[in-house]
Copies of this chain bind each other. A is one copy, B any other.
């Protein structure tokens, strides 16, 4: 591996501790040039910690703890030193400068994890899990990623690939005996196995959407006629004042987003402009924006001012359901604290609330929790991302073709080719096969120092 790399591995900022990581063939040599402790680090045992001072020539730069990791027992599998120094901007920058002056090079984004992958410490599903853990705002997402890091997905992929490779080999073997008209394989059993594998790949591929909910959050849009109390609801759900509330219709022109965590899942609330025919140019833009924002949502809450007219939003509800057929839409009868008539629920899933007094909000939150959880079902502890979903879909398609072909008596040779291509597609997921471009895409999204 060319070069010994160095980077700050903790966030920049004021803190008690910061950790600077240095990895590569010369890690010990370089640190030993600037570190003065009881002993040198090169001969020190792996997984031991040494107190000492970093010097820039004669000038003491900081007192630090240096953790020693001998190859291959480190994150990257290379010789590694982790320097735990004082936090803050000045000292960390100075130590990195001194290490670079002594032969280290600044690490690129994700370069430590890329080296870990290239050295066989992690497969790509695990490397991608690392990125998901770090970027996760929700506990549910992070914990699923941790299970993926622990190798759940890696093992299942590897089992599936070897099963499929066995089937392909069997089909090819039969081919060798084709002249002798011997049928070695139990065709229907093989078709069944191919179909099972297809279903598994398809399900996982489709779990990409629920993985996105875990990764980026469950989006809820608030819609309704002006002055129905959307912004008040927005603030009540967040438990703080975020949207500007005013009695003047059309106050929310742009849309506002904020998030809260319900049941370990990040729920993102989007407060849109009131929907109506407006002649105000800026407001028309806001309403257009509202419609396009709602399209991205997992759930839409239509807020109706029941005090003014309990059925005034029914048409709006129909329209929004029409435009967003796959989205859960709930009608909220707001301002119930002022309402004095008799209730007659004609719309399913109607909830009576008062955004102002908080009445009915617990029920609403419970419903949001149920919906968010069912939208983020975790299949087998895998947090499928776009790249993996594409490759899984591709494998499923190939297996589907193979199953059909075998059923229709197509030659084993062609069937086996499709299966082997599916195996290759799955191999790209774990990185048994990879291109530099794929690696750059994956690791470029990491932060520096990981």
Residue of B12, B14, B49, B93 near A67 (CB, 8 A) is: B49
Give Cα A53–Cα B16 distance, bound, in whole angstroms: 24
Known: A47-B50, A49-B47, A143-B61. A14 touches B138 (CB 8 A): no
Which residues from chain B contact A142 at a C-beta distance below 8 Å? 88, 90-91, 94
CB proximity to B under 8 Å, residues A70-109: 82, 84, 86-91, 93-94
Other A-B contacts than A10-B87, A47-B50, 5 sampled, CB-CB below 8 A, are A16-B446, A17-B450, A63-B146, A88-B142, A90-B136
Nearest-neighbor residue (CB-CB) of A132 within chain B: B88
Encoded as 1 (CB less than 8 Å from any B CB) or 0, chain A from 423 to 450 comes to: 0000000000000000000000011011
Q: For the side of the interface on A, what is the size category?
A: 35 or more
Encoded as 1 (CB less than 8 Å from any B CB) or 0, chain A from 165 to 178 comes to: 00000000000000
A60 on the interface (CB 8 Å rule)? yes
Give Cα A385–Cα B143 distance, bound, in whole angstroms: 46
Contact B449 A17 (CB under 8 A): yes
Which residues from chain B contact A135 at a C-beta distance below 8 Å? 14, 88
Contact A19 B84 (CB under 8 A): yes
Give Cα A50–Cα B49 distance, bound, in whole angstroms: 11
Contact B14 A12 (CB under 8 A): no
CB proximity to B under 8 Å, residues A19-55: 19, 21, 47-50, 53
Nearest-neighbor residue (CB-CB) of A49 within chain B: B47
A375 on the interface (CB 8 Å rule)? no
Contact A14 B48 (CB under 8 A): no
Contact A15 B447 (CB under 8 A): yes
Nearest-neighbor residue (CB-CB) of A10 within chain B: B10
CB proximity to B under 8 Å, residues A138-152: 138-139, 141-143, 146-147, 149-150
- A148 CB → nearest B CB, Å: 11
A9 on the interface (CB 8 Å rule)? yes
CB proximity to B under 8 Å, residues A353-374: none
Contact B53 A112 (CB under 8 A): no
A59 on the interface (CB 8 Å rule)? yes
For the complex formed by this chain, how many copies does it contain in all? 2
6 closest A-B pairs (Cβ-Cβ)?
A11-B13, A16-B450, A90-B142, A10-B10, A9-B16, A47-B49
Contact B15 A90 (CB under 8 A): no
A62 on the interface (CB 8 Å rule)? yes
A to B CB contacts below 8 Å, 8 in the list: A9-B15, A13-B13, A16-B112, A59-B143, A65-B67, A87-B134, A88-B134, A91-B136
Contact A449 B138 (CB under 8 A): no
Give Cα A90–Cα B143 distance, bound, in whole angstroms: 9
Encoded as 1 (CB less than 8 Å from any B CB) or 0, chain A from 105 to 132 comes to: 0000000100000000000000000100
A397 on the interface (CB 8 Å rule)? no
A191 on the interface (CB 8 Å rule)? no
Contact A149 B15 (CB under 8 A): no
- A100 CB → nearest B CB, Å: 15
Known: A15-B447, A19-B17, A135-B88. A146 touches B9 (CB 8 A): no
A294 on the interface (CB 8 Å rule)? no
Which residues from chain B contact A15 at a C-beta distance below 8 Å? 9-11, 134, 447, 449-450
Contact A150 B19 (CB under 8 A): no
A133 on the interface (CB 8 Å rule)? yes
Known: A141-B90, A150-B60. A134 touches B11 (CB 8 A): no
Which residues from chain B contact A141 at a C-beta distance below 8 Å? 90
Contact A150 B63 (CB under 8 A): yes
A300 on the interface (CB 8 Å rule)? no
Q: Which of A47, A50, A134, A150 has the most CB of B within 10 A?
A: A134
- A18 CB → nearest B CB, Å: 6
Contact B133 A447 (CB under 8 A): no
- A140 CB → nearest B CB, Å: 9
Give Cα A26–Cα B287 distance, bound, in whole angstroms: 58
Which residues from chain B contact A12 at a C-beta distance below 8 Å? 11, 13
Give Cα A149–Cα B86 distance, bound, in whole angstroms: 11
Give Cα A93–Cα B134 distance, bound, in whole angstroms: 12
Contact B19 A146 (CB under 8 A): no
Contact A88 B50 (CB under 8 A): no
- A218 CB → nearest B CB, Å: 15
